[in-house]
Amino acid sequence: MADSSSRQRPSLGQMCSSSFLQDHQQYKPPVPINQNIGEVLGAQLEDNLSIAPPINPISPDPEKVTESGVIHSIFNHQATTLPHGTPRVVATIFYKSSNPVHPHFHPDVSPKPVPGDKLPSPQIPEGSAPTDDVEKIPREPPAPEPEPLDHLYGPYVSQLCLTNFLQTLESLPTPYQRTTTSHRCLDREENPRVVEVTFAPPPDPAYLSFVDLRKHESIWRFEREWNVEVVLQEEIVFRRHKRLAVFDMDSTLIQNEVIDEIAKFIGVENQVSEITERAMNGELDFAASLKERVGLLKGVPADVFDKLKSVLTISKGAKELCSALKALGYKLAVLSGGFQPLAEWLAEQLGIDYAVANHLEIDPTSQLLTGNLVPTYPIIDAAQKRSLLKSIAAENKIPLSQTMAVGDGANDLLMLHAAGLGVAWRAKSRVQLEAPTRLNGESLSDILYLLGLDSEDVVELTSAK
């Protein structure tokens, strides 16, 4: 038996060896670097290869192991796609680059003020009220303007703009339903000015009709915030395949009001222009106002129409629009509250098939205007324009769903509502409020985007022989 005194008992110094503390302390001293990165990675790769993969003792059964199909979401999504035949709506979003709603830059990017500068007077957005004169609007001060987000995120239809549009649709006061969306940039891929968004299904018409959706205040506010215009159309085959387009002439296909131009010759321009403006705004009966204005033209030489041809300015994009539509096989018509000689001249310039306007009576002896309309021809007022749209469509066996009408005055509203697509082009305020759709762009060729065409299509059509 060993002597107990010869056994070495453990001491505190042995338990607190330097190696023990070094191995177990939380923050170890840094290891000296004596390897390069290639050696370190190579060593790690060898270690990984030396470790055998774990073996699953239970072999998988492909006939029994399937996906659970559970989708984690705050909404009650279904795993299946939308049923075939679900209605779809197309929203064509135009950035208003030429006519910004917000005339002031955001403070972060605005130029430095110059001493003595005055703040511009407040303005009423175009198309938002029957008059743009602040003094004539008897109401409370308008609500603060929405933040001009296009100045922050770019003067084009940005991705954030599209996201905000979809959020606007989802925020409409209707029961939530699963929505699918897609979009196309119609003019260019980078920083597009025109984007087409398709979404399905539209809001339940029991809660929000399509007519009300087009004019919903949430859509209007979105337009104001992002400086855009939104045109909503039901996605049907005839949205893309129309066959008849009818146009107003004055302030639509041409930039002038013909009767005002005639009035300049005899010095009654102010009187005639005031009546014209009130008539186009719907404040006066069109037929009565036309007769009153024509009466002021008594004694004007009949050759005034030949002189006016050099004064008239065809609207930007009108030639490209008519050329593209003719290449697609459209029938075109100009239905004008103006006068027949100039409507026929314009039809020749643009390749238009039908030209119908008012006929001024001419004294055969003196070759002067009598101040009357030819009684055997009907006055081309709002009802007559709608009737002509329907008769031309019937003559060519074209359903109204395949027709398009474009105008700017109150006397165009009936035909705009009767056509498959009615566009108020740079229209009077009341007309913009009441028309099915509106556009205030620079070029009439923008209307081609509403037919689902993109910029490459437009170039191909306008260059076709």
Residue 355, C-beta contacts closer than 8 angstroms, at least 6 positions apart: 333, 334, 336, 340, 343, 344, 346, 347
Can you give the pLDDT at residue 10? Answer: 52
**Contact by Cβ (8 Å): 340, 359:** yes
Could you give the residue numbers annotated as active site?
A: 248, 250
* Nearest-angstrom CA–CA distance, 133 and 111: 28
**Contact by Cβ (8 Å): 199, 88:** yes
**Count of other CB atoms within 10 angstroms of residue 377:** 14
Q: Which residue has the tokens 């028309």?
A: 435
Q: Which H helix or E strand runs over 395? A: helix 382-395
Can you give the pLDDT at residue 354? Answer: 98
Can you give the pLDDT at residue 127? Answer: 57
* Nearest-angstrom CA–CA distance, 265 and 363: 18
Can you give the pLDDT at residue 404? Answer: 98
* Nearest-angstrom CA–CA distance, 287 and 274: 15
Q: Is 435 helix (H, G, I), strand (E, B) or coil?
A: coil
**Contact by Cβ (8 Å): 444, 315:** yes
Can you give the pLDDT at residue 345? Answer: 96
- Burial readout 438-465 (b: 16 or more C-beta within 10 A, e: otherwise): bbbbeebbbbbbbbbbbbebbeebbeee
**Contact by Cβ (8 Å): 414, 431:** no
**Contact by Cβ (8 Å): 403, 419:** yes
Interior angle at CA 275, CA 271 and CA 281, nearest 5:
150
Checking DSSP bridges between strand 89-95 and strand 228-234, what pairing results, if any? antiparallel
**Contact by Cβ (8 Å): 163, 149:** no
317: left (phi over 0), alpha (psi -120 to 50) or beta: left
**Contact by Cβ (8 Å): 257, 251:** yes
Can you give the pLDDT at residue 341? Answer: 94
Checking DSSP bridges between strand 421-425 and strand 403-407, what pairing results, if any? parallel
User: What is the 3-state secondary structure of 119-136?
Assistant: CCCCCCCCCCCCCCCHHH
Q: Is 245 helix (H, G, I), strand (E, B) or coil?
A: strand
* Nearest-angstrom CA–CA distance, 212 and 263: 41
Exposed, middle or buried, 174 (CB in 10 Å: 0-12/13-18/19+)? middle
**Contact by Cβ (8 Å): 331, 392:** yes
Amino acid at 311: V
Rounded average pLDDT per 10-residue block, the chain, 465 residues: 54 47 47 63 59 56 54 48 86 83 48 59 58 61 66 87 92 81 93 94 90 93 93 96 97 91 77 75 79 86 89 95 97 95 96 96 93 94 97 98 96 96 93 94 96 96 81
Sheet holding 421-425, edge to edge: 354-358, 331-339, 244-247, 403-407, 421-425, 437-439
pTM of the model: 0.74
**Contact by Cβ (8 Å): 243, 330:** yes
* Nearest-angstrom CA–CA distance, 191 and 187: 9
- Burial readout 30-48 (b: 16 or more C-beta within 10 A, e: otherwise): eeeeeeeeeeeeeeeeeee
Beta bridge partners of residue 92, listed in sequence order: 196, 231
* Nearest-angstrom CA–CA distance, 414 and 382: 6
Can you give the pLDDT at residue 196? Answer: 97
